[in-house]
Amino acid sequence: MIRLEGIYKRFGSLEVLKGINLSVEKGEVVCIIGPSGSGKSTLLRSLNHLEKITGGRIFINNELICDRKDDKSIFKPSQYRISKACPKIGMVFQRFNLFPHMTVLENIMLAPKVVKKTPQNSAREYAIHLLDKVGLNDKWDVYPPKLSGGQQQRVAIARALAMRPEIMLFDEPTSALDPELVAEVLEVMSSLALEGMTMLVVTHEMGFAKEVADRVVFMDNGEVIEENTPESLFANPVKVRTKAFLSKII
C-alpha cells in the first residue's frame, strides 16, 4: 500500500533522512521506534506531504506519486492521478489541534462537510457513530478545553476517521498525555488494528509495539537500522545500536 524508496530530507545543511526504504502492506501495523531526533516524525510528515522530500520516490498502491532528486521534482503527476492513486490518509499528531471554539461533534463534522461536501445530516450521523467508537458518545456537545488530554486525543482520532481513510498515520499520539491517560488512547488504536486498518505508528510505547505491531522498525540518525517482527526485534535484536537502545528502555 505504501512504498518508500531512497527517501532523503534536508533542512538546510542538516540531513534528517538518509535514504529510507520502507514498505507497508494493506492491513499491516508498522511501529517505528527510536531515539528522539532520529527522523521518525519527519518520515511520517513526508509521507503525508506535510514536508517536501529532498530526494527519493513515494508509491501509493503501486502508483508513483513523488519522485525527487537534489530537491527537484523528476516526475510531476497530475492532480487527478494523485487523487486517484492516493488512498485517503488520516493523521493523528502529538498535539490534538482541536478547534477550542467548536464542540466535539462540530470538530469531527468539519472536514467531511468542507472537503467532501458531505450533507449535514450524514456528517452528523457518522460523527456520532465515531464518538461511540472511541468511547465518547456522551461528550458530543462538550468543548475540547473541558476534556482531559486522553479524551481530546480520542476526539482527534475520530476526526481523522471521519474522512474514511484507508491508512492512518500516528505521530507519537500519547507523548503529550499524562501516564494514566495513555491506555485509553492505545485501546482505541488497538481496536483499529483489529479491524484491519493499515497503520504506521511512531511511538515510544514499547508495550503497544510488542502487542499490536506486525513489524517494528528501529530508526536512528535518519536511517533504518533494523526491522523485524516484534518478537524477534525485542527478544533478539541483531544490530549493536538496536541492542543499546532497547537495553535502556526495556
Which cell numbers hold the place of 114? Answer: 468542507
Q: Kindly tell me if the per-residue pLDDT of 75 is higher than 80.
A: no
User: How far is residue 140's CA from residue 215's CA, in Å, rounded to a whole number?
Assistant: 35
> For position 114, what pLDDT does the model report?
93
Q: Rounded mean pLDDT of 73-77?
A: 79
pLDDT at position 65 is: 87
The crossing angle, in degrees rounded to 10, of helices 149-161 and 104-115 is: 20
* Residue 21 predicted with pLDDT over 80: yes
Average per-residue pLDDT for the chain: 93
**N- to C-terminal Cα distance for the chain?**
31
Least confident segment among 21-25, 87-91, 100-104, 108-112:
87-91
Distance CA 107, CA 49 (A): 22
Q: Tell me the pLDDT band of 80, cut-offs 50, 70 and 90.
A: low
- pLDDT for 85: 66
CA distances from 180 to 133, 150, 186, 212, 239 (A): 21, 9, 11, 20, 33
Confidence of residue 187 (pLDDT cuts 50, 70, 90): very high
Cell numbers for 49: 506531504
What pLDDT sits at residue 86?
A: 67
- For residue 201, the model assigns a pLDDT of 98
Q: What is the mean pLDDT of residues 221-239?
A: 97
* pLDDT value at 76 more than 80: no
Residue range 121-140, pLDDT digits in tens: 999 999 999 999 999 999 99
Residues 160-177 have a mean pLDDT of 94
Q: What is the pTM of this model?
A: 0.93
Residue 84 has pLDDT above 80, yes or no: no
Q: How far apart are CA 14 and CA 22, in angstroms?
A: 22
Say if residue 250's pLDDT is above 80.
no
Residue 208, pLDDT score: 95
Between CA 73 and CA 140 the distance in angstroms is 44
